[in-house]
Amino acid sequence: MKPIFVTRSSMPPFEEYIDAIRGLWESRWLTNAGSINEELTINLKGYLGAENFLLFSNGHMALELCIQALGLKGEAITTPFTFVSTTQAIVRNGLTPVFCDIDSTRFTIDPDKIEPLITENTSSIVAVHVYGIPCDTDAIEKIAAKYGLKVIYDAAHSFGVSYHKKSIAQYGDISTFSFHATKVFHTAEGGGAAFKDKHLYDRLRHLRDFGLCPGGLDADEIGANAKLSEFHSAMGLCNLRYISKEILKRKVISEHYDKRFKTFKGLQLFPDISGVKRNYAYYPVVFFDEFGKTRDEIIESLKKHDISARKYFYPLTNEFSCYKNVFCSAETPIARDIANRVLCLPLYADMTEDEIDVVCNIILKS
């Protein structure tokens, strides 16, 4: 049997992509916000229902430069149950991450634990919509309004998700997205930011181009090279045409997993949260003692059959070498427990029913 990978990139028809980039051989305008980049920006702004939208070279640079653009200082309350990019973006901006525990159902930052962590140095809440599960946005933004804090959502997993009939891109001051090759929607490498304050548009464009002044002879800010090329933008334009079909394929796969797993005790599956329209980006399973096998035992069983699964997210970012014993923070026991038990199973749009059954059979019979 051929290997089953934890993910596999969706791709548009080859000739369609070639047609999209054909004009570049005449124009030679390959980067620096060319016409394809601008077209994709407009299309994504519409698809996401964003008031303002800008593309970046990757999701990390989108988040890092958005934090910089807001001029945040002091402390940012955030979650350790995330990819390291979230924490790195905070620290690289000179802020102190204050790690807050997570909700055991959503796996997202627990609003009930945020308020005790707020100090006179707190400037923001940087929350993460984990696995495409929306944070409790109402509670978070109520706290932010009470204390005058900015809210940034790392929505790397949440392209196409809506919550209470509202696009996930419309929550908070800023929502940032990853368009990495493994995501539901991708540009091979890339990212984006949706934001409410129109004045941030010029500032973010400025920061993603080294902070250079017009004419390029001076830089009045320390920016970065975070532009998205025309080739990447063309991949995005093509993939966006198929996004509804791709999400539907993922839905079918997720529902098949659900059917196989739902009657077994000791397994916590994707939560059923009222008002969420999913994108089926990931299929996380939390293995509790009652199931009879640990997460790590399951991984080893899958490996023997050349099947990849991912401990996503393990370890917690507040346990990474570069942060441990550096930043003081509250204990996050729920996040630690979930990190030790969770496993993301293979999920990609062209995964077959037979492949799903192979994965399930190994887990349930190993």
Asked whether the predicted pLDDT for residue 329 surpasses 90, the reply is no
> Across all residues in the chain, what is the average pLDDT?
97
Q: What is the pLDDT of residue 324?
A: 79
Residue 102 pairs in a beta bridge with 109
Q: Does the domain formed by 14-240 have CATH 3.40.640.10?
A: yes
Q: What letter represents residue 217's amino acid? A: L
Per-residue pLDDT tens digits for 81-94: 999 999 999 999 99
Q: What is the pLDDT of residue 327?
A: 84
CB 228 within 8 A of CB 187: yes
Q: Which residues of 287-315 are buried (b: 16+ CB within 10 A; e: fewer)?
A: beeebeeebeebeebbeeeebebbebbbe
DSSP letter at 229 equals P
Per-residue pLDDT tens digits for 119-175: 999 999 999 999 999 999 999 999 999 999 999 999 999 999 999 999 999 999 999
Q: Collapsing DSSP states into helix, strand and coil, what is residue 160?
A: coil
Q: What span, in angstroms and rounded, lies between the C-alpha atoms of 318 and 330?
A: 10
Q: What span, in angstroms and rounded, lies between the C-alpha atoms of 207 and 219?
A: 10
How far out from the chain centre does Cα 191 lie?
10
Tokens of 112: 């009930």
Q: Collapsing DSSP states into helix, strand and coil, what is residue 184?
A: coil
Tallying the residues shown for the chain, one arrives at: 366
Tokens of 202: 């010029």
Q: What span, in angstroms and rounded, lies between the C-alpha atoms of 85 and 10?
A: 23
Banded pLDDT at 366 (limits 50, 70, 90)? low
DSSP letter at 345 equals P
Banded pLDDT at 323 (limits 50, 70, 90)? confident
225 Cβ partners below 8 Å, 6+ apart? 57, 208, 209, 210
Q: Give mean pLDDT, residues 192-210.
A: 97
Q: What span, in angstroms and rounded, lies between the C-alpha atoms of 278 and 284?
A: 14
* Burial class of 201 by CB neighbour count within 10 A (0 to 12, 13 to 18, 19+): middle
Domain assignments of the chain as residue spans, ordered by start? 14-240, 243-365
Conformation bin of residue 74: beta by default, left when phi > 0, alpha when psi is -120 to 50? left
Peptide bond into 315 cis (omega under 30): yes
Asked whether the predicted pLDDT for residue 77 surpasses 70, the reply is yes
Whole-angstrom CA distances from 200 to 39, 40, 134, 141 are 20, 19, 24, 20
CB 237 within 8 A of CB 40: yes
1 Cβ partners below 8 Å, 6+ apart? 305, 306, 358
Per-residue pLDDT tens digits for 231-287: 999 999 999 999 999 999 999 999 999 999 999 999 999 999 999 999 999 999 999
Comparing CA positions, the residue from 226, 241, 231, 130 lying closest to residue 188 is 231
**End-to-end alpha carbon distance in the chain:** 18
**CATH code for the structural domain at 243-365:** 3.90.1150.10
Q: Collapsing DSSP states into helix, strand and coil, what is residue 87?
A: helix
